[in-house]
Structure 1
């Protein structure tokens, strides 16, 4: 009796499926394959973003489980740094993929994980089976934007990044001045003030600190100009 036959008997299904869960890392990906709950999954490790290897691994898994090459494949991965390009690739192969909101995944209270920790591929695979068995509440599925929708977000994201950097620069300047007991009103031209302001003993700002303040102020002015340009484009 083949694995495929056992799966059909277990589920009562007339159409078999290969289930695939991705654990995505910067350098390596883990792939978990199965066809039924409770079965020992096939777990493979491959170089990240190697699409030719991924295609081979899927074909090898179909053969290993005794499935036809035309057997439907259902997959999932957690939303994160890799974005949606992988979703677009696997769906172009005819795979039914879901991108999962990692913060929505149920986690044992005693084993709470950091938000950035990747879920083990075996657990993710088990949850994929439950999801397709009808347990829709097992996680939240992320709506995948179109390429055009995602591209339109770039301007907003760049603006947000620049404003965050502007705040960091302003805080650095304030902190550097505070180390010398100096406080200047908001809007002060730091580049000019660094040359004229005096310390507690009426001595000038030390040369290296003055040079750093001038560089930070120059960077702040660049950020201000770029933010204004992008806001006009919006």
Structure 2
């Protein structure tokens, strides 16, 4: 989608619809004359690739939904348990269980955070003490997947304890602090989900 948009912008053609969406074919038919023939062919090849990816993604998601519905997958219990929480859908639950919670056993919350690369990396030398941010040494896919439901949690679960903690610490301190705070919220969310799966402890206010 970004590739097609960039090719169009080179000729000052800016699509007003979602590229590859249901209105894309009609929009492209009305605007294809505004770009050179060679570029037209390139955009249409990119559109064909995009359509193929969407088709394959839909097939994979259908298989996952079928496995969840019929209980065929060995991790179906954890998948269904996570998917019951608001702000976490079947796709997010699948990534978290397959990448982290379904095959690893954690002794404490620190191990959970280390596995995801959500631990702080302080620098201490003499009188110099600097916080260098999170380590990012863990599972990148799971870390990204946790940040997304952390943002969604703020609107979908406004009464939860985690949302109230974020609003109290970061909500009114500007965009940069909100971005810092959402990573901290993702870490707390990961620990809460681990406790939920491991001990049945429902996150407060969820």
Shorter-chain-normalised TM-score: which range? under 0.3
TM-score norm. by structure 1 comes to: 0.23
Q: Which structure has the greater CA radius of gyration?
A: 1
More strand by percentage: 1
Richer in helix (by share): 2
TM-score using structure 2 length: 0.25
